[in-house]
Amino acid sequence: ITTVCKVHKVCVLPGDGIGPEIMEVATKALTMAGAKEGEDFEYKYCLIGGAAIDATGKPLPDETLATAKESDAVLLAAIGGYKWDTLPSAQRPERGLLAIRAGLNAFANLRPAIVPRQLADSSPLKRELVEGVDILIVRELVGGIYFGQPRGFGVNEKGERIGFNTDVYSEPEVERIARVAFEAARKRSKRLCSVEKSNVLEVSQLWKEVVIRVGKDYPDVELSHMYIDNAAMQLLRNPKYFDVIVTGNIFGDILSDEASMLAGSLGLLPSASISGSGPGIYEPVHGSAPDIAGKDVANPLAMVLSAAMMCRYDLSIPKVADRLEAAVNAVLDAGLRTGDIYKEGPDTRLVKCSEMGSELMKHL
């Protein structure tokens, strides 16, 4: 009898600023959680961002993209910092991020808005409203009004200056993002809300039609539709209504920032940029935090939750994801807080990044 043991190949990009510190915690936690479930990881460390500019002159070396393409998934910490802020924008570290997204055809941006009950008091909304919120926003990332042609400046018939953009989606573009969203909903509470403005916009009418058609392939997922203005309101009025939200580029940009505020802190929010086939890029929503880099005070939990998302959506090892999420819950239950989420109290204790990491390992 032969047993085939699949090793999950992960391209690891620690990047800049607090990146290396939080990545160390995340990879250790991932290895441990995997070991408990009989899953092995092979980490291929590559350069991106400022670190890559310093070593090779390019924010995304060819070797990094090649390794990413050969991997099952990409785990990315953070990019950029003061050191490179004076470079012309075309040579900045952030270009590395845009380039790897384009190189992997990552057209779908997945952003969970999670409010752990232990932190429900940091939300600007009332505890009863946000406690237990767990929303996944699926935003189309490479189409819509941000990319549509024609665009530019001109002059109208009255001789006045105008600026204009075009909001355009093709049927295949809507179909592929809808499939990503339905698949994601299947792995969660099986409720999908499509957000558009079909009472006013033709591009939204097409969006809605295509989403309904794709939905016929997912009879197990309950589909609803909401206008963007109403969705923006409901997100604050009754956020627990939502499970998965799918929407276009500009509406998703706005809604995902609004949703991230429900949590009240960046330190716990993961994200993914995926293509639906091939490796996705999993990274925290926060940036490289150059102001606190190298001080061992960063919050590593968004990075750990990004690794969990990678396990759930790319590697299809949900039990490893569950273990990582349970460990994050356990350290929060134990009252451990890094500076960004710390509030003085009898049940909380301020810890460093490395201590948060060692406590996580104990729970794993």
Question: Binding marks (x or -) toward ligand ATP, 109..148, rule CB under 6 A?
Answer: ----------------------------------------
Out of 50, 143, 215, 267, point to the residue binding ligand ATP (CB under 6 A): 267
Going from the C-alpha of 297 to that of each of 235, 287, 293, 364, the distances in angstroms are 32, 14, 8, 22
Between 64 and 299, CB nearer to ligand ATP: 299
44 catalytically annotated = no
**Residue type at 75 in one-letter notation:** L
- 286 φ/ψ sector (left φ>0, alpha ψ -120 to 50, else beta): beta
Q: Please, are residues 109 and 252 in contact by the beta-carbon 8 Å criterion?
A: yes
Q: Which does 249 bind (CB under 5 to 8 A by kind): Mg ion, ligand ATP, none?
A: none
Minimum distance, C-beta of residue 100 to Mg ion, in the bound complex (Å): 17
Q: Which of 287, 290, 300, 357 binds Mg ion (CB under 5 A)?
A: 287
Among 72, 197, 218, 314, the one annotated catalytic: 197
The closest of 132, 123, 140, 143 to 258, measured between CA atoms, is: 123
Is there a contact between 68 and 100 (Cβ–Cβ < 8 Å)?
A: yes
269 binds, among Mg ion, ligand ATP, none (CB under 5 to 8 A by kind): none
Of 284 and 287, the one with the shorter C-beta distance to Mg ion is 287
Distance CA 103, CA 95 (A): 12
- Binding-site member from 73, 100, 262, 289 for ligand ATP (CB under 6 A): 289
- Minimum CB separation of residue 63 from Mg ion in Å reads 27
Residue 286 in the binding site for ligand ATP (CB under 6 A): yes
Q: How far apart are CA 148 and CA 150, in angstroms?
A: 6
Q: Distance (Å, rounded) from C-alpha 118 to C-alpha 343?
A: 11
Q: Does position 290 bind Mg ion by CB under 5 A?
A: no
Other Cβ atoms less than 10 A from the Cβ of 339: the count is 15
Residue 197 appears among annotated catalytic residues = yes
253 is a catalytic site residue: yes
Of the residues 253, 282, 313, 340, only one is catalytic, namely 253
Q: Looking at 122-130, 248-256, 281-289, 348-356, which segment touches Mg ion (CB under 5 A)? A: 281-289
Under a CB-based contact definition with an 8 Å cutoff, are residues 92 and 80 in contact? Answer: yes
Contact 29, 41 (CB under 8 A): no
The strand pairing partners of 175, in sequence order, are none
Q: Is 257 among the residues known to form the active site?
A: yes
**Neighbour-count burial of 355, counting CB atoms closer than 10 A to its CB (0-12 exposed, 13-18 middle, 19+ buried):** middle
299 binds, among ligand ATP, Mg ion, none (CB under 5 to 8 A by kind): ligand ATP
Tell whether residue 340 is a contact of ligand ATP (CB under 6 A): yes
Give the closest residue to 142 by CA, choosing from 186, 104, 93.
104
Q: Closer to Mg ion at the Cβ: 141 or 351?
A: 141
Active site (catalytic) residues: 146, 197, 229, 253, 257
What does the binding site for ligand ATP look like in residue numbers (CB under 6 A)?
18, 80, 266-267, 286-289, 291-292, 298-299, 302, 338, 340
